[in-house]
């Protein structure tokens, strides 16, 4: 692939959109009312709209290495607040994926420079679930499980925020934890028990 290809592809895409709907871009320019916020990994193999079959305008998207929801990350917190408080999305999704390089890096004793503080959040997930993870003898299965637990803990981090707590009370916003299985293409709902997690952590994290 070279950069010129991108612009040729773009011209082709415009032609296809206009063939199907001559007013496509007029509608697109009018505004957005996405129903969900998708927080996923930056991995080039895990695109947001493609795997969900969604079109421009249907998902508000944030991606970073290993789909982390870090309390002091101004970027993810800004995206969350804008999506929940202004665009009024009703669903917030954290989507991890198997074979995640970020999660793999956090399982190894390696100095990754500036990535150390970022990946440390995943080491914290490992520490929280150390007994369960260490009991898994197959390394591949342990890696898969850490991917899932990382998604779960990022969902917990979402539930700790004022924006999510307020929108839950106000209009029943839901938080979902998913994993994209890069080996089969399947999107798996981890079915995290949102109400139970919310109830469990409210004793300490309630902001209302």
- State the catalytic residues: 41, 43, 45, 97, 100
- Work out how close the CB of 169 gets to Zn ion at its nearest, in angstroms, rounded to a whole number: 32
Q: What is the DSSP letter of 85?
A: I
Size of the site for Zn ion (CB under 5 A): 4
Is residue 43 within the footprint of Zn ion (CB under 5 A)? yes
User: Where does this chain touch Zn ion (CB under 5 A) — which range of 54-62, 77-85, 94-102, 114-122?
Assistant: 94-102
Is residue 151 within the footprint of Zn ion (CB under 5 A)? no
Q: What is the DSSP letter of 138?
A: S
Alpha-carbon distance 168 to 146, whole Å? 27
- Work out how close the CB of 99 gets to Zn ion at its nearest, in angstroms, rounded to a whole number: 8
Among 36, 37, 39, 41, binds Zn ion (CB under 5 A): 41
Is residue 144 within the footprint of Zn ion (CB under 5 A)? no
User: Where does this chain touch Zn ion (CB under 5 A) — which range of 20-28, 43-51, 54-62, 85-93?
Assistant: 43-51
Q: CA angle, 132 as apex, 131 and 134 as ends, to 5°?
A: 65
Torsion of CA 93, 73, 77, 169, to 10 degrees: 70
- Work out how close the CB of 116 gets to Zn ion at its nearest, in angstroms, rounded to a whole number: 17
Q: Give the dihedral sign, CA 104/67/120/197.
A: negative
206 forms beta bridges with: none
* Burial group, residue 5, by CB count within 10 angstroms (0-12, 13-18, 19+): exposed
Could you list the residues that contact Zn ion (CB under 5 A)? 41, 43, 100, 102
């Amino acid at each position: 692939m070279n950069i010129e290809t991108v612009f040729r592809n773009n011209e082709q895409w415009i032609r296809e959109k206009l063939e199907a709907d001559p007013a496509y871009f007029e509608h697109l320019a009018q505004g957005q009312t996405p129903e969900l916020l998708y927080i996923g990994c930056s991995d080039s193999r895990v695109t947001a709209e493609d795997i969900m079959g969604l079109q421009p305008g249907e998902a508000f998207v944030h991606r970073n290495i290993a789909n982390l929801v870090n309390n002091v990350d101004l970027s993810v917190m800004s995206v969350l607040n804008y999506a929940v408080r202004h665009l009024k999305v009703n669903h917030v999704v954290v989507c991890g994926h198997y074979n995640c390089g970020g999660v793999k890096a956090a399982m190894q004793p390696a100095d990754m420079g500036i990535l150390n503080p970022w990946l440390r959040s995943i080491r914290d997930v490992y520490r929280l679930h150390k007994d369960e993870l260490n009991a898994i003898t197959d390394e591949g299965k342990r890696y898969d499980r850490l991917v899932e637990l990382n998604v779960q803990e990022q969902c917990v981090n979402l539930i700790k925020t004022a924006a999510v707590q307020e929108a839950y009370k106000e209009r029943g916003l839901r938080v979902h934890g998913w994993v994209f299985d890069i080996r089969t293409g399947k999107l798996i709902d981890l079915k995290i028990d949102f109400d139970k997690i919310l109830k469990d952590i409210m004793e300490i994290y309630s902001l209302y």
